[in-house]
Amino acid sequence: MNAPQNPLRPFESLEFDDLFVRSLPADPHTHIVSRQAPNAAYSFVTPTPVAAPRLIAWSDPLGALLGIAQPAAAGSAAEVLGGSRVLPGMKTYAARYGGHQFGHWAGQLGDGRAITLGEILDTHGQRQELQLKGAGSTPYSRHADGRAVLRSSVREFLCSEAMHHLGVPSTRALSLVATGEDVVRDMFYDGHPETEPGAVVCRVAPSFVRFGNFEIFAAENEAANLRALADWVIRQHYPELGEPGPHAYADWFAEICRRTGVMIAHWMRVGFVHGVMNTDNMSILGLTIDYGPYGWLEGFDLAWTPNTTDAQGRRYCYGQQPQIAHWNLTRLAGALYDLIADEEALRAGLESYRISFEEHWAAMLADKLGIRLDTETNAEPDTLLSDLFTLLQETETDMTIFFRRLADVPTDADVSAAARLAPLREAFYDAAALDDQPGRALAAWLNRYAKRVSADGEPSDARRARMQAANPKYVLRNWIAQLAIDDAAQGDSAKIQRLLRVLERPYDEQPEAADLFARRPEWARHRAGCSALSCSS
């Protein structure tokens, strides 16, 4: 065999660039005390060293994209990835941003525990920013400690990679390092603080700039900074729009809206609930960013949110995500108003969000169901879908299993109700319901569905392939992540490695992973981390 053309480099040999730093204004102060940082896009800050950094997980696919070999569990690379060592050429910083949290302007927030190491070129020549999350205090830490717990770091690490392999635009995660230090958290903010192991994730994205980076400049009347940041984002990340200027700004906003529409449609397709869609958690590149108290639908439920902090208002529940993204884009439009100064253009941009989301979501739903959008014979396009949603909601039905198994439902005309229902049985939390009224209602719906499929006339192999490519078999179920976390807390990362591997191919049948294609067990229904998550991380 020939030697690989591009052998992987050791992490320590990476050449770091700092284009963001060179292009945008720095905070002139360097003291790490929580404070306002007027006129700055970022503050220089070095990660705070940790007691015993140990690499416990590594993404091979991302390592390959970046051209980096997996480092040893302990040693200089693990020290860098845990925040204990800085390599020559790194100009480490925390970014300044603001944000609307739960509908209200929250002022300056900023990277309170994320520290960027620098930018590198990946094997495709694309610039990628490497950022440590949980790397210690910054001027933006406010009242918090700058650290992250192992449980939330495992969740961010696994979910970033799972989302990428599902085809959902996302920031990524290269490594997970246990710090060997404890962190104190009051998980449910109820006066019961406990110590938990700490960890640091190395996140990777072309940029971590958020809507909130623009909002803080607009709110503080820092017009020159607003323009400089917009110009930088356009030149670096939207070069196809040409040189920054009034037209490019308007096109850029419309493109952010379009990309956000694509991202949200994907979230809805795979059953992902972000949980904290504040504007500081919205990427300017249309990537899923900041994995906190996110969750995956198990029972299909439009009103479900994993975030206990949001349990009352359900602002960020599954079914609200499309509207919230629009609301957030409207805040971004407000922040960019002085730059674009054309209300019509901003309105048109927001409209392109609506169109983008609706077109993508409709196409994805058609793929999920294996129906065509454009058939003339289709007399009831809308009610077929909305009636299904009602049925799924009325009887607790596992979203992933239902859609994955839908491709196995026989659609010939003369099939019995029992035969139509059979492939779907395991999606139901209460199997008895299928022998009762809910089963009859679903069988009636399946008859309509079968007629629709026959009328479409698509060859069944093609249809099945289309459905399997839209309906993942393996997602990062909340309780499955929790089992991996439980073991990791005991020093055993085997489940993390296994999940990483299975979730690399979420649409493939993987018989050895049958236990991961399963309804949530009863013990997980009310266990913290399995169905309810707090922002405490």
Asked if residue 517 lies in contact with residue 338, where contact means CB atoms within 8 angstroms, the answer is no
In the complex, minimum distance from the CB of residue 273 to ligand AMP, in angstroms, rounded to a whole number: 15
Q: Is 129 in the site for Mg ion (CB under 5 A)?
A: no
DSSP state of 384: H
Closer of 96 and 269 to ligand AMP (Cβ): 96
Q: Which stretch binds Mg ion (CB under 5 A): 171-179, 285-293, 346-354, 397-405?
A: 285-293
Q: Is 78 in the site for ligand AMP (CB under 6 A)?
A: no
Closer of 260 and 356 to ligand AMP (Cβ): 260
Closer of 215 and 396 to ligand AMP (Cβ): 215
Identify whether 342 is a catalytic site residue: no
Size of the site for Mg ion (CB under 5 A): 2
Closer of 65 and 95 to Mg ion (Cβ): 95
Q: Which two tokens stand for residue 381?
A: 């396009």
Name which of 142, 141, 180, 187 is nearest 292 in CA terms.
Answer: 187
DSSP state of 35: -
Q: Which of 231, 280, 310, 398 is catalytic?
A: 280
Closer of 316 and 445 to ligand AMP (Cβ): 316
In angstroms, the CA 411 to CA 448 distance is: 10
In angstroms, the CA 216 to CA 280 distance is: 10
Residues in region 286-305 near ligand AMP by CB under 6 A: 290, 292
Q: Coil, strand, or helix at residue 460?
A: helix
**Which of 222, 290, 298, 396: binder of Mg ion (CB under 5 A)?**
290
Q: Which stretch binds ligand AMP (CB under 6 A): 24-32, 105-113, 118-126, 162-170?
A: 105-113
* Helix (H), strand (E), coil (C) string for 447-479: HHHHHHHHHHCCCHHHHHHHHHHHCCCCCCCHH
Q: Is 281 in the site for Mg ion (CB under 5 A)?
A: yes
In the complex, minimum distance from the CB of residue 141 to ligand AMP, in angstroms, rounded to a whole number: 4
Q: Which stretch binds ligand AMP (CB under 6 A): 70-78, 140-148, 325-333, 474-482?
A: 140-148
Name which of 410, 449, 408, 445 is nearest 426 in CA terms.
Answer: 408
Q: Coil, strand, or helix at residue 105?
A: strand
What backbone phi and psi angles, to 5 degrees, belong to 204? Answer: -135, 130
In angstroms, the CA 228 to CA 80 distance is: 31
Of these partners, Mg ion, ligand AMP, none, which one is at the site of residue 145 (CB under 5 to 8 Å by kind)?
A: ligand AMP
Q: Is 468 in the site for ligand AMP (CB under 6 A)?
A: no
Closer of 145 and 426 to ligand AMP (Cβ): 145
**Which of 112, 167, 319, 423: binder of ligand AMP (CB under 6 A)?**
112
In angstroms, the CA 455 to CA 378 distance is: 8
Q: Which stretch binds ligand AMP (CB under 6 A): 139-147, 170-178, 232-240, 342-350?
A: 139-147
In the complex, minimum distance from the CB of residue 58 to ligand AMP, in angstroms, rounded to a whole number: 24
Of these partners, Mg ion, ligand AMP, none, which one is at the site of residue 110 (CB under 5 to 8 Å by kind)?
A: ligand AMP
Q: Is 147 in the site for ligand AMP (CB under 6 A)?
A: yes
181 vs 75, 134, 147, 173, CA distance in Å? 17, 12, 10, 21
**Residue of minimal Cβ distance to ligand AMP:** 112
What backbone phi and psi angles, to 5 degrees, belong to 447? Answer: -65, -45
Closer of 277 and 513 to ligand AMP (Cβ): 277
113 vs 104, 110, 274, 388, 513, CA distance in Å? 22, 9, 19, 43, 35
Distance of CA 528 to the CA centre of its chain: 21
C-alpha distance across the termini of the chain, in Å: 47
Q: Is 141 in the site for ligand AMP (CB under 6 A)?
A: yes
In angstroms, the CA 332 to CA 209 distance is: 13
DSSP structure string for 177-231: EEEEEEEEE-TTSSS--EEEEEEEEEEEES---BHHHHHHHHHTT-HHHHHHHHH
Q: Which two tokens stand for residue 17?
A: 């660039």
Q: Is 174 in the site for ligand AMP (CB under 6 A)?
A: no
Closer of 53 and 198 to ligand AMP (Cβ): 198
Q: Which stretch binds ligand AMP (CB under 6 A): 12-20, 145-153, 241-249, 300-308?
A: 145-153
Residues in region 360-419 near ligand AMP by CB under 6 A: none
Q: Which stretch binds Mg ion (CB under 5 A): 255-263, 266-274, 288-296, 396-404?
A: 288-296
**Which of 144, 184, 373, 431: binder of ligand AMP (CB under 6 A)?**
144
385 burial type by CB count under 10 A (0-12 exposed, 13-18 middle, 19+ buried)? middle
Positions annotated as catalytic residues are 280
Q: Which residues bind to Mg ion, rule: CB under 5 A?
A: 281, 290
Q: Which residues bind to ligand AMP, rule: CB under 6 A?
A: 109-113, 140-141, 144-147, 276, 281, 290, 292, 535
